Chain A
Amino acid sequence: MAERILSLIIVGILQGGVYGLLAMGLSLQYGVCRVINITHGEFIMLGAVLTYILHIGFDVNPLLAPVILGPLLFGLGFLLQATLFRTLKAWAPSPAVFEGNALLAAFGVLYIIEHFARITWGGKLMPSYYLADLVSFLGIDFVKNQFVTFAIALALGIAVYLFLSRSRMGRAIRATAEDPGTAGLMGVNTNMILAFSFGLGALLAGVGGALVSTKIAVSTGMGFSNTVLALIVVVLGGLGSIPGSFVAGILIGIVSMLVAGLWEPILTVPVYYAMLMILLLVRPTGILGKK
């Protein structure tokens, strides 16, 4: 029994790393652009589906697919912010109205992307497993790709964190997130920063999607539930906090495996939801969040 719990926890951590990656992009997009990007899941879906196509159709290694997909999705995200959300922001009479409009617009974009994908690729399941063989660790059998995807997610997460905290552009991004007006006055090209951050968020989502595709069968309809997952992780970890997303991702990963393994797989989302509600009652800013 203890072994079972241990294996669940380990898998939970490994999964959670990827969840954290999925959420990081969203956190970045909200923290900098102040957009609750409910389209995020669709970018995850695009990453996953395109990886499937490259893997099954063109024999490209799914772990390398992000090299091609990354810039593509980055560009898409960049464009989305630079055109749609920027215009909404400029035309909105107040930040509250902007957030509301951005949310609704994102809802519209969600349907655009999802149904465009459905029309192009259909609604079937697309299995694109990779490295699905078993490996032994601590005497328990795990699927190899869990470790690989976790490692990649962790590496990417650390890279993003370092980028944001050490590099010049990272500082510009943080400044813009904190106070766009002042940042602009200090010479930061805020429009570029916003678009870049959004694109980066989209890229992270796409890579996350690619990683997910190696583990489970994907489809064009997977976006919505992934958005909900990412949102829950982001809020749990604190809106705008990158390390928070990662920590919360791992926590959610563990919880999801424990609930699925010991209780009921179907109840994982309701459990996170309940967790989130309780958390918000007690600590509205999330685990590591700032107001």
Chain B
Amino acid sequence: MDIPRFISTHRKLLLVGFLVLILIFITTFPLYARASHIRLLTTILIYVVLAVSWALFSGTTGYMSLAPAAFFGLGIYTMALLQKELPFFLIIPIGGLVAFAFALLIGLVTLRLRGIYFAIFTFGLVIFMTEIIQYLETRLWGQHGQHITPIDNEPLLYTMLVLVVVTVLATYLIRRSRYGLALLSIGGNEEAAEHMGINTTRTKVFIFAISSFFMGATGVIAAPSLIYVNANIAFSTYYSFMPIFMAIFGGMGQIYGPIIGAVIFGYLEKTLRAQLFSYFMLGFGIIMVAVILFLPNGIVGLVPTLQDKIWGPVPALRKEKTWKATAAGILNILGGIVQVIGSIILFMGSGFLAQFARLEFISGFIGWLAGLYIAVAIVLIILGLTAILGGICALRRSSWRLGLAGSICALFSPAFILGIPAIILIILGKDEFEYVVEGGQTEQHANT
């Protein structure tokens, strides 16, 4: 069962193929999807850019910027103000440049100092912008809020797609370049980085400004779908929290981490907005804290750990493999598959229900039900995946603990009957795993 080896040798090819598929999927999306879905996809892409550009600076240097909302809002207002003067495509880079300029200013003042000042400043920047814009609107421009002429869904989607490609490409190139090395060094130990010849202030300011450029450009593209904005809408702290949350959840260390986070939570967020907004934010807040505590490297950070544990090298057997653990493994995998399928059904069901949630007279209850479906679906997916991974461990005899955990998870599925014998068999077959020294595996690299 050497899937992992196949994956790693043909890694680049598979990745390129995967990306091409995604691009094709998105480009042809409007052909078979409804308008609301197109808007959903565009929103997800917006979050992708925000999360990826946030992670570019904050994920590498460790300087936590709480300001994405400020730059995003700047982009929105740039569009609002210039929509009649200039063509849409020209406003996009201008919005980016406005954000860039602001970021340069803030960065030059605060990035010379310790990280906390930077965090505090970026935190307050959102309020700062809200008030300034409100002032300008009431005193100078004489109107509250701005109306933005809507643009069709398809062009917006494609424009956003282009921006996503540009952002991800730029991020990838930066991370791979010496700039990326400099950023990581600053995050690793800023004093040492400076002593090795890195002009830390210049690097920080520049990359911070670049990441803000993308946030501003995104704001311009997001504006037409909002139709009406005022300072509070454009500069809502929500647009700081969500990208950060998505990047943290997905994992800041890799490029695709924030993308994964953005896709997952962009979808969840849109699927159940108004009714249960506060409940969802409460839930997201809890997840955020949990992730920072237990998964500081995000989901993506789990991958190497899991890879090692599950597919890692398995030392030579002392005992022979019997049917016990193998059967347990198979049961785990089956139970896990059932759980995953069940959760997919629930997700679809909740989306279905959410359509009805718009009907006034039953909206409250239906909304709750849909929310419940989603919550259960999320739990089921986690259990299901654990069960499947546990099953693989059992088959390979690579980790008894994970195998047992998988069996326990399989217990909580609609097919719990599978879980009971799985647990029993795994416990009986424990000695087949025994040569693995749990956690005591000595240093991979001998010391001189």
Chain A residues close to B by CB (< 8 Å): 30, 36, 38, 84, 87-88, 91, 96-97, 99-101, 103-105, 107-112, 114-116, 118-119, 224-225, 227-228, 231-232, 235, 239, 264, 266-270, 273, 276-277, 280-281, 284
A224 touches B285 (CB 8 A): no
Inter-chain contact A88/B132, CB cutoff 8 Å = no
The 8 A CB mask of B54-96 against A (1 = contact, 0 = none) is: 0000000011101000000000000000000000000000000
Known: A36-B120, A118-B278, A228-B124. A101 touches B113 (CB 8 A): no
From residue 24 to 71 of chain B, which have CB atoms closer than 8 A to chain A? 62-64, 66
CB of B438 within 8 Å of the partner chain: no
Cβ–Cβ < 8 Å partners of A266 in chain B: 131, 134-135, 138
Give the distance to chain A from B178, nearest Cβ to Cβ, in Å. Answer: 22
Chain B hits for A267, CB < 8 A: 131-132, 135
How many whole Å from B197's CB to the nearest CB in chain A?
Answer: 21
Q: Decide yes or no whether B228 CB sits under 8 A from chain A.
A: no
Cβ contacts under 8 Å, B190 to chain A: 96
Known contacts A108-B288, A109-B285; 6 additional CB pairs below 8 A are: A104-B244, A104-B248, A108-B284, A112-B282, A228-B123, A269-B124
Cβ-closest chain B residue relative to A111: B285
Question: Looking at A84, A264, A270, A284, which has the most chain B CB atoms within 10 Å of its CB?
Answer: A270
Interface contact A87-B293, CB-CB below 8 Å: yes
0/1 interface trace, chain B 117-147, chain A, CB 8 Å (1 if under)? 1011101110110011011001100000000
> Are the C-beta atoms of A103 and B64 separated by less than 8 Å?
yes
**B123: A residues at CB distance < 8 A:** 38, 227-228, 231
If A104-B64, A105-B288 touch, whether A280 touches B117 (CB-CB below 8 Å) is yes
CB–CB A277/B109 < 8 A? yes
CB-CB nearest in chain A for B135? A266
A107 touches B244 (CB 8 A): yes
A96-B62, A108-B289, A270-B132 are contacts. A115–B109 as well, Cβ < 8 Å? no
B279 beta carbon closer than 8 Å to chain A: yes
Do the beta carbons of B289 and A105 come within 8 Å of each other?
yes
A84 surroundings in chain B (CB, below 8 A): 289, 293
Most buried by A among B116, B125, B248: B116
* Contact residues in B for A38 (Cβ distance below 8 Å): 66, 123
Q: Are A108 and B292 in contact (CB under 8 A)?
A: yes
Q: Cβ of A284: which chain B residues have Cβ within 8 Å of it?
A: 112-113, 117
Chain A residues within 8 Å of B281, by CB: 111, 114-115
Enumerate chain B residues within 8 angstroms of A273, measured Cβ to Cβ: 124-125, 128
CA distance A269 to B281 in the complex (A): 27
A111, B284: Cβ atoms closer than 8 Å? yes
Q: Which of B63, B110, B125, B241 contacts A111 (CB 8 A)?
A: B241
Beta-carbon contact of B282 and A115 below 8 Å:
yes
Least CB distance, B233 to chain A, in whole angstroms? 14
> Contacts A104-B288, A105-B289, A224-B237 known; A270 to B278 CB distance under 8 Å?
no
CB pair B119–A36 under 8 Å, yes or no, is yes
**Bound-complex Cα distance A103 to B123 (A):** 11
Quick one: which of B116, B139, B286, B296 contacts A99, CB cutoff 8 A? B116
Q: Is the CB of B289 within 8 A of A112?
A: yes
**Distance between Cα atoms of A109 and B287 in the complex (Å):** 10
Complex: chain B residue closest to A105, CB-CB:
B292
- In the bound complex, residues from chain B placing their C-beta under 8 Å from that of A235 are 117, 120
Option from A101, A111, A231, A264 in Cβ contact (under 8 Å) with B282: A111
Minimal Cβ-Cβ distance residue in A for B287: A108
Assuming the contacts A103-B119, A111-B282, A270-B128, asked whether A88 and B293 have C-beta atoms less than 8 A apart, the reply is yes
Q: Given contacts A96-B62, A119-B279, is CB(A111)–CB(B288) below 8 Å?
A: yes
The residues of A that contact B117 with a CB separation of less than 8 Å are 235, 280, 284
B109 and A280 within 8 A (CB): yes
Give B337 Cβ to nearest chain A Cβ, in Å.
33
Interface set, chain B 158-200, CB cutoff 8 A to A: 190
Give Cα A89–Cα B279 distance, bound, in whole angstroms. 29
Sorted nearest first, the 5 A-B pairs with minimum C-beta distance are A108-B288, A111-B285, A112-B285, A108-B289, A115-B282
Alpha-carbon distance A114/B238, docked complex (angstroms)? 12
Contact partners of B241 in chain A: CB under 8 A: 107, 111
Known contacts A107-B244, A270-B131; decide if A119 and B120 are in contact (CB<8 Å): no
Contact A104–B113 (Cβ < 8 Å)? no
Contacts of B286 in A (CB 8 A): 108, 112
- Specify which chain B residues have a CB less than 8 angstroms from the CB of A101 in the assembled complex: 292, 296
- Rounded to whole angstroms, the CA-CA distance of A224 and B131 in the bound complex is 13
What separation, in Å, do the CA atoms of A114 and B282 have in the docked complex?
A: 8
